[in-house]
Structure 1
């Protein structure tokens, strides 16, 4: 018997033991229970049905479907019980209205915090339960929704769930806590209504989205498109694990969109974590939590900054001409071509100063679709091009001075000084051959500030680049720290390492060097 449907959870993992009841428009009822692969084995007359689905630990729901001969199996999706949420939009300007879309199976309290050197309490938002039993429980759409988003409700009627964003720019987090102590946090990027500082810092919201697997797809899991059967065993079912040469990016000729309209569990930060704490967790070490450490360092060092999302550079909200310095950090891998062109023009034609405090940056081009609600990753990587960005525009080395290579990936090490007399090293006391950057907060890989993905100079690096230091990662895979000037008076400082900014709060040498660069770049 061919399955009439499959049932899976929000991550597209097969659900066994789901009770389904199909009710026809004539009132006839048909019952089934899903199998180990999530299959629903049931013969139904053609027609329209109301379907009720239930499984312990997951939210029950009703949906309406049409059954017709020869159609592909229906795809039912259930959301597990728990606490999740996201802001919508995920980036705004000060004083703009923001929804909070929360999934909870019990009453929860919500508050807003600003994440700088300290977690600063901003406001109590309130208690929410929407009255009815489990009425704050959200559902996920059936079918494939990583592409289109979950579009969760933000309250009901007069109980709308919105706030006005603070007028102070920065990284904010909503804190949700249930009556029984379950906790979940989710970020909000607040840009200024107009520039307030000389430094703009860019949040890598495109990268956050590329790595977000909610719905069963990211750019690393089922990157091209969803299959017709849910996942039973990841090692056996996902192209990522079946191919020796990273099959996800070769799994199809094109790639379906990834919606921003989804929760981002990887960006959750536990309530007890502070900016000077170690960063635990594989994803936390290169996403929002790691970027927070840079913002904390800027505030500790009294550098005022304005904070923006990637999309706000793309759409023009961030006008680079209004800033002296742009800082991109940690893992700014996914950029649109318009973003790339704006940055290149600002640095090479307008005299902008760029600090690239990250690794594997500007490597993959993306296109915004669905009025900016989603993005498509352009994953083609021809052998004669240095990166996916190079395949559609130019090598990122032409702007950053360096580009990611696989050598040294998934390792971390200190840097070794190559040019001790350079002004970047002023006040450090370092000499040729000395090591620095031995202390980092990121725990994904231990070893130092050159890691866990690293960039190096290439033939597309602009002339006149000085290689200041090089990481001691194995296989000659160390990050190359570079600095150069452009004919327009622009300046670029690149560290070529994801782990570098996670050491600033605890490493005196990298603090001194980064302070030297910022002070010089800010000078008229």
Structure 2
């Protein structure tokens, strides 16, 4: 257990707004809260180190420790009308189990804690199970199986307490599979009537308490009937999951209006029993997508209460901040970002914080975590907790659920361990600090601080909400190292800024790559569908390329007609291990129009040192391609070279084992292009095409060729009349 941990209700805010901070502390003593500004988050003793500045705030102070619990795993809950006859119940659903190594994975549960009654229908390792619990004990019936993974079955159960009889069965929806059936006599039971405490759960058991025995797989058309078969007062509850696919609500079509709610956001917009492949979009044929996929590790909103609130003063400085929680030797840092008031910038530079990317990588468990990186964490005094070891808050869209399916929904209303100052992503022996995302981006923040550049920040979330107005006032806009994930709104905000004469510095690699969706009605969550190509750790199932949250086609922006080259001039071309290389100046860089970029930069090569991959060009590389929308007037001023043999071309570039879409050989596509161009609207564009570029900025106390080159660009972009 992590002794003290927390999160804010949002990752960003503006002066005059308030952020609530939720803390769980298993410690006995009160904890101290201190607001800090994050200048550098790199724990490497050979780099700038961890640098925080304490800030006065009304919320600073001591707060009592209290433990706030969270139970992962998705399910649905619905009410049961008071007075419902519980003496005769029929349960039915279509199910596709995904895990065969779990017992008592609950499909449907109905219970009334007030009278000690519970009935659960479950998929077991050995078949289908039915469990009846009352104050007098528990009885169980099993229909031998097994129910095989990734196959649809119709499961049914009937319980008649008056007749002391139960019946249980399952049958496959595909011919050729075995079915199962069982009957049993139960002990004498008195007639039961539901009280106000009665309820129903779908895909989890233990109604009224902490959810347990989660189902892993798909459920369609769950149905419960009460008091039927000649008994007076019979009612039917039946939920149609094809309705409200873009919501967290389930609709009862049985006549009682016992509509329910989804907890911890299982996956919707997935194919059900009726899908034939004739339609690929759930909006066109929702009846084909009448299933919901539940997982035992789904995580949406932890639901913790606020421990304290930060009312952001109206004159508060825009920047990168965290609330430091400290109790004895234990501490945590809850990150957040404050943008300037909309339309009233505090600086001429704006750094866009890639919070959508942070969320999609949030709590990323990596395959290479182990004793070696733990030793480095201890040696460097780095953040001591890693989501590969502490998985209670879910994982990232780069991880898999226990049933082997990809995680497509990620939340920011939970602690994100890898958004902590001092967090190490990977060991990277001999290759610098081993940082990515938040901590790697702090190399840029620290560089701006060292060079005396004042800057505002704005988050991707704020771009999505506020659109182009969020960037319009700024003389120049800088990205961070890896702005990979974007909604249509946030991508549009960048494009409008450039088209209107803005000056954009794209300082990363593999940016503007995946399309994601957020919801207007379900706060705190984003969705990705890894459709049709791209570098990816899992692939969306056939027929499931459309987001559930907004109904739009997912996957690569390139596949949707908006390749990153059309915005930044370069786009993802190659990926390798965390080994960086250098850039070499090209002949065109000596042209009078662009040679000022290299003032003070000595030699033909630069960027051969760095805290990210030991070089400015590494890990993920972008290249110039007119065929994909790169501006024809752009000048490629430098190109990386001498990359390690581990680098490969991205899948979307490959046609066969020897040919590519561009017509060039695969080896010719493994490089980063650094470009500059003036835009037709009077603005300018500078792109570096590498994820590790900013890692070279802090070398030699920020005095190096890479740093000088970027300083030349930023000062030129800030100059009036240029």
Alpha-carbon distance between aligned partners in 2 of 1:304 and 1:279, rounded to the nearest angstrom: 30
Residue 381 in structure 1 maps to residue 381 in structure 2? no
1:200 to 346, 350, 366: 350
1:31-430 matches, cutoff 5 A = 80-106=1-27, 107=29, 108-116=31-39, 118-123=51-56, 125-130=60-65, 136-144=66-74, 145=264, 146-155=298-307, 161-165=308-312, 167-179=316-328, 181-193=329-341, 194-213=344-363, 215-222=393-400, 226=401, 231=402, 238=404, 248=406, 256-270=408-422, 282=434, 285-316=435-466, 319-348=470-499, 350-369=500-519, 370-382=521-533, 388-408=556-576, 410-418=578-586, 419-421=588-590, 422-430=594-602
Deviates more, 1:190-199 or 1:207-216: 207-216
Summarize the Cα distance change of 1:199–1:212 in structure 2 as closer, same or farther, 3 Å threshold: same
User: Unpaired segments of 5 or more residues in structure 2?
Assistant: 41-50, 75-263, 265-297, 364-390, 425-429, 535-552, 645-666
Contact 2:339–2:458 (8 Å) recurs in 1: yes
Secondary structure of the residue aligned to 1:137 is coil
1:368, distance to aligned residue in structure 2 (A): 1.2
Alpha-carbon distance between aligned partners in 2 of 1:202 and 1:208, rounded to the nearest angstrom: 12
User: Which one has a bigger Cα radius of gyration?
Assistant: 2
Question: Per-residue CA shift, 1:360-409, capped at 9, x if unaligned?
Answer: 101011111145521111422358x9x70122341011111111123445
Contact 1:408–1:478 (8 Å) recurs in 2: no
1:459-498 matches, cutoff 5 A = 459-460=627-628, 461-472=630-641, 473-474=643-644, 475=667, 477-498=670-691
1:447 to 614, 621, 636: 614
Aligned to 2:231: none
1:428, distance to aligned residue in structure 2 (A): 2.5
1:314, distance to aligned residue in structure 2 (A): 1.1
Residue 456 in structure 1 maps to residue 623 in structure 2? yes
Question: Per-residue CA shift, 1:298-339, capped at 9, x if unaligned?
Answer: 122121211111111111175222111111111110111122
Q: Taking structure 2 as the reference length, what is the TM-score of the superposition? A: 0.51
Secondary structure of the residue aligned to 1:351 is coil
Summarize the Cα distance change of 1:346–1:483 in structure 2 as closer, same or farther, 3 Å threshold: same
User: Unpaired segments of 5 or more residues in structure 1?
Assistant: 1-79, 131-135, 156-160, 232-236, 240-247, 249-254, 273-277
Summarize the Cα distance change of 1:430–1:97 in structure 2 as closer, same or farther, 3 Å threshold: same
Deviates more, 1:256-265 or 1:325-334: 256-265
Secondary structure of the residue aligned to 1:406 is strand
Aligned residues between the structures: 394
1:219, distance to aligned residue in structure 2 (A): 1.1
Question: Per-residue CA shift, 1:59-106, capped at 9, x if unaligned?
Answer: xxxxxxxxxxxxxxxxxxxxx352211122221002321111112101
Summarize the Cα distance change of 1:238–1:83 in structure 2 as closer, same or farther, 3 Å threshold: farther
Summarize the Cα distance change of 1:449–1:352 in structure 2 as closer, same or farther, 3 Å threshold: same
Alpha-carbon distance between aligned partners in 1 of 2:525 and 2:433, rounded to the nearest angstrom: 26
1:483, distance to aligned residue in structure 2 (A): 1.1
Alpha-carbon distance between aligned partners in 2 of 1:346 and 1:463, rounded to the nearest angstrom: 19
Contact 2:39–2:449 (8 Å) recurs in 1: yes
